[in-house]
């Protein structure tokens, strides 16, 4: 009774009222975890919680090309092939295909050639892909049919779409079996002029007839209204043919073994014609009802909520065909518990909720509270998460270990480098100021000297918290042709001492620079200082210290480095025009093959001359000849044995010519909670959600323990309010009652 | 009054055209259609043909202001400026560079922005005016002195500090509300509580001091002395007389921002993961999405003009001496 009276008296004051309201609201609306950002109804459900930072731009498989997007597209679409989840090196296995296709090689006259025919004699390669029967699409209104078997939503207009805002607003949905036609339809979509598929230019050179189809479609689209539908079935594609309901054949120009990797990407996933037709109806695009927003696939998950501003939700596709968890992997996978779910039907998680977190601090804190199941490590939280011991090994901190958090590390299939533009007379040695052959040799020595002087190990230690390994060549670990140990070092920059690669001394670099005609960084004849210009897109706070460090590295050779910061677009323009001297770039692998890295230095890819990806405009006849041979070879079997020495020879040329200062291959550090199972770093496969498993009970238990609200501050705030208001109220009362004197 | 409003609307037109022109000019100086194409198409495997196709598809292959090749009015209408900017005057914002309808996005995102901005605004106004009146009541006492000191301290702290500090203290240490996120329906309040509280607290310092200054100026006037001489209690003097007479300067600062509440807060929305118009604008700037930036600048201008007109109208409500007739 006394307590009640106290409460009543307390809420007479505004502060007390406020505190009372807050308290009652909390008590009425919350369970034990007040800070739970998810609806109470989701507690105990088999849901994976994750976050995304950048909103995906495209979910259309003809357009989508970035990692942010593949987090979603990889789970929804099913190309014919996929990567084995556990095996390394990465191995292609069938997804919807019955088996990994073996190419047939044909001569120009259509004659069948033996499998070991040299690439130069192969006119066409043919891949015949047979899709498994009985695979069905996710439920979707595009497949809905009426009693007469006719499509329900094939003749919609703006009026009919009134009240329809999301795909779920359509009352009917349907499904149908996946056929070879769907794959053919999607390959044609790569040439659609309004989709701007990033791989069209490249594939047009490979798939027979795709270029011509692109021109045909372009002409047809010119007269089409903005929201008009281009019926791709009316335009045949010579190089892609339907064999039967479940089989199709793709004909390529020449030999291109890497094509199999492309068959594991969403670009070659099926798109049903009905869906394309459905989304092209008037009024659909205005409501963001597009294939780019609501994908349609046969994969383990379907996108049921797409609000890329806030959250995206993938839910189990009820029509997903049977697939089981793999039973084979690397030798250490069994010990890591990665084979515990062998043979279980996939997917193992019912739903995945991806929330948008633009800032790293809330992302990290929510992970620590258990509201995200996994997280990367930003530089802000690095020290809190891991520490490097004396030997350079990475360990979780005590706090992380107490929470049962696990650390997964892997070297990414990426490379970062500082390139020299070889069209530049000073660093390329060509042109009027380049002094001919002698000039080229001197420029090469200059590049070699710079390669030695820039201490990549120090860079990785200072600026990347040790999250990377110094690059010896363009090839990162895990890619065929990469060698560990002494055989793999870059002999121009490193020497093998005491069982490990040691960077050559700065004196060696100075000697090379002197041989290049720049003793102590000054022109041997004129005494002019050597000035090099670095073009970069940097300019932020972190970039300043990086660039200062880099300037000091050049200064060790007496070279003056001028940093020319510019925005992204200007930088790209300069690269395109060959108007840079030094630049920084990186490359993420499309697929795990050395060709996907070495092509970056192929003469045929010169950026200034041919608009390709070789920003250094490096052109070496020897390297190009080797690259032309090795690029069409396979990495397995007898061809692999033949290919390896060619790769090593090509890399040797690059190391000697030093068109790049080989920088580093980044390491990815991922943290996962104890309740998240079956996670294995995977850099090229993107359909990994279906393999993961969550121990929901464990998550609930830990979340509950970690998130008990601390209530005393509320009382303290209320007391503070009273402490401020009470004297004021008393003073007011005293003043009002005071008599005039 | 109607004539006045029409006249103001008429004046607004050249302002909007000017804003449009400046935005258009500035954006195209630093960001050519080629740059936009490259931003949208990415950096991997982008061919010059793909860039040309992208530009042609979106009409960026046309001249900026005058198209000599087009017949008749096409000279002006078949230009990038007309097609991309002039249409906004009839409410056609077009599509973002990723193909999504801008008007639809704006409508969708307005709700979350308002859900934060409106309570912050109303609560903030109530708290700061009340505090200012309180300080005025206790003027020249220790309460006034320490109140002003607290206000100066509060206004000296960066807005970002309030956000990060609030998230750390209330969400991380005390675990009272979610750190970030947004949800509709009955769950919405738990996401709004912290950003609204931070919005209110971060605005207390400057606003309270400003209102206190206004009230102190009023409190020395003759009518206040008269009211006191009548024997009115001090609360009645402050709330019934001083507050009413101080409304004109208060409204000058307050009403103009009401329409702009729709635009959301860039920082708060970003840190709290609120899918509002503030984060939409930030995303568009980062992605160099000219279509969205242009639309948001245009809407901002329209709302600002509307705010100024509303301010003028509000004067007539609080001060009977102000009339629009000549």
CA distance B181 to B191: 6
The C-alpha of A529 sits at a distance from chain B's nearest C-alpha, in angstroms, of 34
Inter-chain CB proximity A198 and B167 less than 8 Å: no
Give residue limits of the domains in chain B. 2-90, 102-318
- Does residue A538 surpass a pLDDT of 90? no
Query: 28-87 in B: which are within 8 Å (CB) of A?
Result: 30-32, 34-35, 38-50, 53-54, 57
Q: What is the chain A residue with the closest CA to B232?
A: A736
Asked if A7 contacts A313 with a C-beta cutoff of 8 angstroms, the reply is: no
Sign of CA dihedral B204, B206, B211, B213: positive
| Greatest mean pLDDT among A213-227, A292-306, A627-641, B239-253 | A292-306
How confident is the model at residue A80, as a pLDDT?
97
Asked if A122 contacts A252 with a C-beta cutoff of 8 angstroms, the reply is: no
- Does residue A374 surpass a pLDDT of 60? yes
Inter-chain CB proximity A731 and B138 less than 8 Å: yes
Inter-chain CB proximity A288 and B183 less than 8 Å: no
Asked if A125 contacts A104 with a C-beta cutoff of 8 angstroms, the reply is: yes
B92: contact with A, CB 8 A cutoff: no
Inter-chain CB proximity B50 and A293 less than 8 Å: no
- Which residue range is the domain that position A398 belongs to? 47-53+324-409+687-708
Q: What is the chain B residue with the closest CA to A588?
A: B44
- Does residue B149 surpass a pLDDT of 80? yes
Of B273, B274, B259, B277, give the one whose Cα is nearest residue B106.
B277
Mean pLDDT, rounded, for B169-175: 94
Inter-chain CB proximity A731 and B189 less than 8 Å: no
B31-83: pLDDT as tens digits = 778 888 877 777 677 777 778 888 887 788 888 888 888 888 888 888 888 88
Q: Are residues A536 and A432 in the same domain?
A: yes
**Greatest distance between any 2 Cα atoms in chain B:** 84
**Beta pairing partners, A375:** A671
B101: contact with A, CB 8 A cutoff: yes
Q: Are residues A380 and A501 in the same domain?
A: no
Mean pLDDT, rounded, for B270-298: 88
- Does residue A36 surpass a pLDDT of 90? yes
Closest partner residue to A736 (CB to CB) among B104, B134, B233 is: B233
Asked if A154 contacts A278 with a C-beta cutoff of 8 angstroms, the reply is: yes
What 8-state DSSP symbol labels residue B99? Answer: S
Closest partner residue to A709 (CB to CB) among B112, B176, B181 is: B176
Mean pLDDT, rounded, for B227-234: 88
- Does residue A227 surpass a pLDDT of 80? no
Inter-chain CB proximity B45 and A287 less than 8 Å: no
How confident is the model at residue A9, as a pLDDT?
45
Q: Residue B321: which pLDDT band, with cuts at 50, 70 and 90?
A: confident
CA distance B28 to B293: 12
- Does residue B200 surpass a pLDDT of 80? yes
Cα Rg for chain A, rounded, in angstroms? Answer: 31
Q: How many CB atoms lie within 10 A of CB A130?
A: 19
Q: Are residues A328 and A292 in the same domain?
A: no
Q: What is the dihedral of CA B145, B151, B154, B156, to 10 degrees?
A: -90
CA end-to-end distance (rounded Å), chain B: 10
Mean pLDDT, rounded, for A206-218: 95
Q: Residue A11: which pLDDT band, with cuts at 50, 70 and 90?
A: very low
DSSP letter string over A464-477?
Answer: STT-EEE-SSSPPT
Inter-chain CB proximity A710 and B173 less than 8 Å: yes
B270: contact with A, CB 8 A cutoff: yes
- Does residue B230 surpass a pLDDT of 70? yes
Mean pLDDT, rounded, for A153-181: 92
How confident is the model at residue A31, as a pLDDT?
53
DSSP letter string over A544-596?
Answer: HHHHHHHHHHHHTTTPEEEEEE--HHHHHHHHHHT--SEEEEEEE-SSSSTHH
Task: Look at residues A275, A304, A333 and tell me which one is the last residue of a structural domain.
Answer: A304
Query: 192-231 in B: which are within 8 Å (CB) of A?
Result: none
Mean pLDDT, rounded, for A603-629: 92
Please give the distance of CA A658 from its chain centroid, rounded to a whole number. Answer: 28
> A365: which 2 tokens?
């804190």
- Does residue B238 surpass a pLDDT of 80? yes
Q: Which of chain A's residues have a Cβ under 8 Å away from the Cβ of B54?
A: 196
- Does residue B267 surpass a pLDDT of 90? no
Of residues A61 and B74, which shows the higher confidence score? Answer: A61
CA distance A36 to A691: 26
Asked if B265 contacts B115 with a C-beta cutoff of 8 angstroms, the reply is: no
Give how many domains chain A has, as a whole number: 4
Q: Which of chain A's residues have a Cβ under 8 Å away from the Cβ of B47?
A: 201, 611
Sign of CA dihedral A330, A335, A336, A339: positive
Mutation choice for A interface testing from B111, B172, B278 by most A CBs within 10 A? B172
Q: Which of chain A's residues have a Cβ under 8 Å away from the Cβ of B186?
A: 29
Q: Which of chain B's residues have a Cβ under 8 Å away from the Cβ of A361?
A: 164, 167, 271
Closest partner residue to B179 (CB to CB) among A194, A309, A365 is: A365
Closest partner residue to B48 (CB to CB) among A194, A611, A713 is: A611
Inter-chain CB proximity A26 and B41 less than 8 Å: no
Beta strands A560-565 and A531-536, pairing class:
parallel
Q: Are residues A264 and A296 in the same domain?
A: yes
Asked if A224 contacts B68 with a C-beta cutoff of 8 angstroms, the reply is: no
Q: Which of chain A's residues have a Cβ under 8 Å away from the Cβ of B235?
A: 732
Q: Mean pLDDT check: name the lowest of A31-45, B49-63, B159-173.
A: B49-63
Q: Tell me the pLDDT of chain A averaged across its residues.
A: 90
Is there a domain that residue A501 lies in? Answer: yes
Total number of residues shown for chain B: 326
With a pLDDT cut of 70, the percent of chain A lying above it is 93
Inter-chain CB proximity A358 and B279 less than 8 Å: yes
Inter-chain CB proximity A196 and B49 less than 8 Å: no
CA distance A192 to A271: 13
Please give the distance of CA A623 from its chain centroid, rounded to a whole number. Answer: 29
The C-alpha of A540 sits at a distance from chain B's nearest C-alpha, in angstroms, of 14
A136-163: pLDDT as tens digits = 999 999 999 999 999 999 889 888 998 8
**Beta pairing partners, A532:** A561
CA distance A651 to A312: 43
Q: What is the chain A residue with the closest CA to B169?
A: A713
Q: Residue A28: which pLDDT band, with cuts at 50, 70 and 90?
A: very low
Mean pLDDT, rounded, for A591-604: 94
CATH classification at residue A261: 3.90.76.10
What 8-state DSSP symbol labels residue B71? Answer: -
How confident is the model at residue A5, as a pLDDT?
42
CA distance A85 to A590: 17
Q: Which residue has the tokens 């490590």?
A: A377
**Greatest distance between any 2 Cα atoms in chain A:** 120
Mean pLDDT, rounded, for A80-95: 94
Inter-chain CB proximity B98 and A57 less than 8 Å: yes
Inter-chain CB proximity B101 and A286 less than 8 Å: yes
- Does residue A8 surpass a pLDDT of 50? no
Of A720, A478, A448, give the one whose Cα is nearest residue A591.
A478
How confident is the model at residue A1, as a pLDDT?
40
Inter-chain CB proximity A58 and B280 less than 8 Å: no
Q: Are residues A657 and A517 in the same domain?
A: yes
Inter-chain CB proximity B273 and A358 less than 8 Å: yes
Q: Which of chain B's residues have a Cβ under 8 Å away from the Cβ of A707?
A: 175
Inter-chain CB proximity B189 and A29 less than 8 Å: yes
CA distance A374 to B4: 60
Q: What is the chain B residue with the closest CA to A704?
A: B175
Of A387, A287, A359, A277, give the one whose Cα is nearest residue A51.
A359
**Beta pairing partners, A314:** A303, A352
- Does residue A7 surpass a pLDDT of 70? no
Mutation choice for A interface testing from B58, B164, B174, B274 by most A CBs within 10 A? B174
Q: How many CB atoms lie within 10 A of CB B278?
A: 23
B7: contact with A, CB 8 A cutoff: no
How confident is the model at residue A342, as a pLDDT?
96
The C-alpha of A711 sits at a distance from chain B's nearest C-alpha, in angstroms, of 7
Three-state secondary-structure class, residue B183:
coil
Of A260, A309, A302, give the one whose Cα is nearest residue A288.
A309
Inter-chain CB proximity B182 and A34 less than 8 Å: no
Structural element, H or E, at residue B291: helix B290-318
- Does residue B239 surpass a pLDDT of 60? yes
The C-alpha of A37 sits at a distance from chain B's nearest C-alpha, in angstroms, of 5
Q: Where are the alpha helices (DSSP H) in A386-490?
A: 398-402, 425-428, 436-453, 456-463
A431-487: pLDDT as tens digits = 555 455 578 899 999 999 999 999 999 999 888 888 899 999 999 998 999 999 999
Q: Residue A4: which pLDDT band, with cuts at 50, 70 and 90?
A: very low
Q: Which of chain B's residues have a Cβ under 8 Å away from the Cβ of A198?
A: 41-42, 44-46, 50
CA angle A641, A645, A650 (to 5 degrees): 140
Q: Which of chain A's residues have a Cβ under 8 Å away from the Cβ of B38?
A: 569, 572
How confident is the model at residue B224, as a pLDDT?
92
Cα Rg for chain B, rounded, in angstroms? Answer: 25
The C-alpha of B45 sits at a distance from chain A's nearest C-alpha, in angstroms, of 6
Q: Residue A40: which pLDDT band, with cuts at 50, 70 and 90?
A: confident
Q: Residue B207: which pLDDT band, with cuts at 50, 70 and 90?
A: very high
Mean pLDDT, rounded, for B183-207: 90
Of A466, A465, A458, give the one whose Cα is nearest residue A380.
A465
How confident is the model at residue A380, as a pLDDT?
81
Does the structural domain B102-318 have CATH classification 3.40.190.10? no
Q: Mean pLDDT check: name the lowest of A23-32, A58-67, A322-331, A339-348.
A: A23-32
What residues contact residue A98 under an 8 Å CB cut-off, 6+ apart?
A: A130, A131, A132
Q: Are residues A704 and A601 in the same domain?
A: no
What is the interface pTM, i.e. ipTM, of the complex? 0.86
A693-703: pLDDT as tens digits = 999 999 999 99
Q: Which of chain A's residues have a Cβ under 8 Å away from the Cβ of B87?
A: none
The C-alpha of B176 sits at a distance from chain A's nearest C-alpha, in angstroms, of 5
Inter-chain CB proximity B99 and A292 less than 8 Å: yes
CA distance A263 to A95: 10
Q: Are residues A605 and A528 in the same domain?
A: yes
Q: Side-chain half-sphere of A292: how many Cα atoms within 13 Å?
A: 24
Number of Cβ pairs < 8 A linking chain A and chain B = 159
Mean pLDDT, rounded, for A535-554: 84
How confident is the model at residue A29, as a pLDDT?
47
Q: Side-chain half-sphere of A537: how many Cα atoms within 13 Å?
A: 12
Inter-chain CB proximity B273 and A355 less than 8 Å: yes
Q: What is the chain B residue with the closest CA to A196?
A: B50
Q: Residue A692: which pLDDT band, with cuts at 50, 70 and 90?
A: very high
Of residues B88 and B222, which shows the higher confidence score? Answer: B222
Q: What is the chain A residue with the closest CA to B98?
A: A57
């Amino acid at each position: 009774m006394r307590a009640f009276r106290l409460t009543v008296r307390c809420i007479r004051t505004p502060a007390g009222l406020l505190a009372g309201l807050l308290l009652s609201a909390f008590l009425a609306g919350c369970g034990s975890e007040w800070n739970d950002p998810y609806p109470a109804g989701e507690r105990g459900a088999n849901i994976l919680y994750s976050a995304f930072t950048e909103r995906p731009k495209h979910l259309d498989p003809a357009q989508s090309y970035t990692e942010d997007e593949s987090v979603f597209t990889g789970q929804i679409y099913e190309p014919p092939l996929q990567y084995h989840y556990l095996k390394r090196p990465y191995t292609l296995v069938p997804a919807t295909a019955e088996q990994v296709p073996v190419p047939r090689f044909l001569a120009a006259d259509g004659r069948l050639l033996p499998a070991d025919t040299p690439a130069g004699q192969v006119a066409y390669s043919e891949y015949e892909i047979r899709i498994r029967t009985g695979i069905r699409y996710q439920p979707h209104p595009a497949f809905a049919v009426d009693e007469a078997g006719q499509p329900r939503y094939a003749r919609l207009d703006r009026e009919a779409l009134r009240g329809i805002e999301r795909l779920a607003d359509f009352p009917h949905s349907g499904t149908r079996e996946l056929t070879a036609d769907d794959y053919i339809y999607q390959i044609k979509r790569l040439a659609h002029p309004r989709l701007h598929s990033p791989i069209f230019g490249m594939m047009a050179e490979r798939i027979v007839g795709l270029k011509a189809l692109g021109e045909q479609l372009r002409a047809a689209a010119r007269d089409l209204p903005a929201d008009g539908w281009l019926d791709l079935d009316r335009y045949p594609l010579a190089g892609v043919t339907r064999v039967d309901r479940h089989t199709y054949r793709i004909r390529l120009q020449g030999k291109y073994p890497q094509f199999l990797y492309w068959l594991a990407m969403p670009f070659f996933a099926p798109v049903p014609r009905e869906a394309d037709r459905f989304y092209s109806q008037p009024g659909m695009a205005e409501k963001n009802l597009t294939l780019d927003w609501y994908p349609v696939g046969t994969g383990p998950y379907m996108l049921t909520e797409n609000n890329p501003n806030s959250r995206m939700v993938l839910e189990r596709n009820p029509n997903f065909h049977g697939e089981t968890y793999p039973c084979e992997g690397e030798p250490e996978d069994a010990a890591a518990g990665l084979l515990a779910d062998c043979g279980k039907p996939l997917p193992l998680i019912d739903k995945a909720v991806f929330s948008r977190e633009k800032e790293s601090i809330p992302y990290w804190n929510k992970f620590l509270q258990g509201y995200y199941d996994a997280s990367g490590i930003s530089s802000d939280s690095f020290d809190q998460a891991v520490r490097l011991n004396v030997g350079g090994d990475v360990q979780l901190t005590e706090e992380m270990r107490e929470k049962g958090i696990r650390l997964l590390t892997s070297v990414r299939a990426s490379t970062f480098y500082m390139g020299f533009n070889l069209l530049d007379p000073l660093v390329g040695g060509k042109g009027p100021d380049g002094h001919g052959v002698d000039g080229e040799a001197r420029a090469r020595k200059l590049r070699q000297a710079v390669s030695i002087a820039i201490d990549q190990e120090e860079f990785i230690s200072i600026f990347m918290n040790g999250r990377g390994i110094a690059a010896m060549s363009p090839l990162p670990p895990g890619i065929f042709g990469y060698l560990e140990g002494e055989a793999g070092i870059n002999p121009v920059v490193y020497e093998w001492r005491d069982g490990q690669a040691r960077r050559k001394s700065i004196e060696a670099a100075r000697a090379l620079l002197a041989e290049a005609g720049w003793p102590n960084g000054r022109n041997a004849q004129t005494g002019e200082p050597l000035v090099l210009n670095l073009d970069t897109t940097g300019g932020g706070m972190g970039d300043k210290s990086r660039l200062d460090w880099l300037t000091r590295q050049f200064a060790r050779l007496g070279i003056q480095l001028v940093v020319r910061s510019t925005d992204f677009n200007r930088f790209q323009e300069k690269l395109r025009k060959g108007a840079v001297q030094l630049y920084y770039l990186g490359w993420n692998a499309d697929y795990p093959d050395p060709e996907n890295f070495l092509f970056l230095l192929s003469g045929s890819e010169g950026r200034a001359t041919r608009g390709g990806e070789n920003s250094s405009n490096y052109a070496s006849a020897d390297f190009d000849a080797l690259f032309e041979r090795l690029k069409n070879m396979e990495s397995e079997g007898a061809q692999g044995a033949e290919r390896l020495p060619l790769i090593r020879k090509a890399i040797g040329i690059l190391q000697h010519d030093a068109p790049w200062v080989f920088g580093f291959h980044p390491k990815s550090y991922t943290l996962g909670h104890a309740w998240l199972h079956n996670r294995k770093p995977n850099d090229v496969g993107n359909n990994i959600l279906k393999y993961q498993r969550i121990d929901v009970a464990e998550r609930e238990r830990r979340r509950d323990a970690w998130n008990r609200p601390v209530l005393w501050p509320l009382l303290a705030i209320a007391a503070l309010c009273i402490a401020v208001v009470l004297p004021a109220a008393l003073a007011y009362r005293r003043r009002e009652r005071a008599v005039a004197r | 009054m109607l004539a006045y409003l029409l006249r103001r609307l008429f004046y607004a037109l050249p302002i909007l055209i000017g804003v449009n022109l400046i935005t258009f000019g500035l954006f195209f100086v630093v960001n050519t259609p080629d740059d936009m194409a490259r931003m949208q198409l990415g950096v991997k495997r982008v061919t010059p043909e793909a860039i040309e196709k992208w530009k042609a598809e979106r009409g960026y292959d046309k001249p900026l202001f005058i198209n000599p090749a087009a017949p008749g009015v096409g000279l002006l209408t078949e230009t990038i400026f007309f097609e991309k900017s002039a249409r906004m005057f009839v409410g056609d914002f077009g599509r973002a560079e990723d193909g999504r309808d801008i008007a639809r996005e704006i409508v969708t995102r307005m709700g979350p922005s308002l859900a934060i901005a409106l309570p912050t605004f109303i609560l903030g106004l109530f708290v700061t005016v009340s505090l200012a009146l309180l300080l005025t009541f206790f003027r020249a006492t220790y309460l006034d002195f320490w109140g002003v000191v607290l206000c100066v301290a509060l206004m000296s702290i960066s807005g970002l500090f309030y956000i990060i500090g609030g998230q750390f203290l209330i969400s991380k240490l005390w675990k009272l509300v979610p750190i970030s996120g947004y949800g509709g329906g009955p769950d919405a309040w738990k996401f709004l509580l912290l950003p609204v509280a931070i919005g209110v607290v971060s605005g207390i310092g400057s606003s309270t001091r400003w209102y206190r200054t206004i009230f102190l100026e009023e409190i020395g006037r003759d009518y206040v002395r008269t009211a006191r001489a009548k024997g009115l209690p001090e609360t009645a003097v402050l709330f019934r007389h001083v507050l009413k007479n101080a409304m004109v300067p208060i409204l000058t600062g307050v009403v103009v921002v009401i329409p702009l509440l729709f635009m959301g807060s860039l920082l708060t929305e970003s840190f709290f993961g609120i899918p509002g118009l503030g984060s939409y604008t930030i995303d568009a700037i980062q992605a160099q999405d000219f279509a969205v930036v242009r639309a948001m600048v245009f809407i901002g201008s329209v709302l600002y003009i509307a705010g100024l007109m509303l301010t003028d109208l509000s004067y007539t409500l609080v001060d009977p001496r102000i009339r629009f007739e000549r």
